[in-house]
Amino acid sequence: AEAAMEVYLQHGEVIFKDGRKMPENEFVCSVTGESLLDQDFVIHNGKPFSRKAYLDQFADHVDGSTLQPLYKGDNVVLAMGYKWKIENFRCAGTGKPLNFEQFMVKGGKPYSVEAYVEKFRVCPTCNETVALGDDSAIEWMGMIFHADHFQCAGTGCVLKQGDKVYAKDLGDGMGPRPYCEKAYAEQFCPVCPGCSEYVLPDEESVNACGSVWH
């Protein structure tokens, strides 16, 4: 297998670092048919595979990290459904060997518990980590918050599980922010000329005469 991670798209063709070309519509996983433009891939016998599909096809014969063949006598560990040479089973965050310690999985990659918490469980409000055992933590839009830090970006009020929460990305690179219904309506929603009430994005509406109407 040949790992070919660097490609770019030009005029409908996928161009590999070594100069090879492939039509964009053929640059799909041979197993799943999904596009490979935005994910790791492998070329095997001239056919492209997503990394996961390749591992699934040859799980008993290749190393889960390097994708290189395994040989009799190799010291391997079975984890995440694949075989890994012991020296190659490493934390995707730190690169350190996991050495049979407890680990977490994210995006198909293993992380030490410490690295996982530091990378994926950081509260955006306070920039402090959220403990794995914190059952009160709130997950929202791919982020995790301490319960008392899940606050409306407009008013600062604490939002609770079950509250109607609206997301707004202000385009400043900070990603979506949570808003309570009142703050979101006042800052971002048009007013219906017929009833003088805000028209929320999840309400039926009609655009007419330059206005938005219920």
Whether the CA torsion 32, 36, 42, 46 is positive or negative: it is: positive
Quote the pLDDT of residue 3.
Answer: 56
Quote the pLDDT of residue 105.
Answer: 94
H-state helical runs in 65-112: none
pLDDT in tens, the chain (214 residues): 555 557 778 888 888 877 788 888 888 999 999 998 888 888 888 888 998 999 999 999 999 998 889 999 999 999 999 999 999 999 999 999 998 889 999 988 899 999 999 999 999 999 999 999 999 999 999 999 999 999 999 999 999 988 999 999 998 888 899 999 999 999 999 999 999 999 999 999 999 999 999 9
CA 104 to chain centre: 15
Quote the pLDDT of residue 180.
Answer: 96
Quote the pLDDT of residue 40.
Answer: 84
Quote the pLDDT of residue 5.
Answer: 55
Three-class SS state of 115 = helix
Q: Report which secondary-structure segment, H or E, holds 110.
A: strand 109-112
Quote the pLDDT of residue 183.
Answer: 97
Q: Is the pTM of this model over 0.85?
A: no
The 8 Å CB, 24+ separation contacts for 112-120 are 115/91, 118/93, 119/93, 120/144
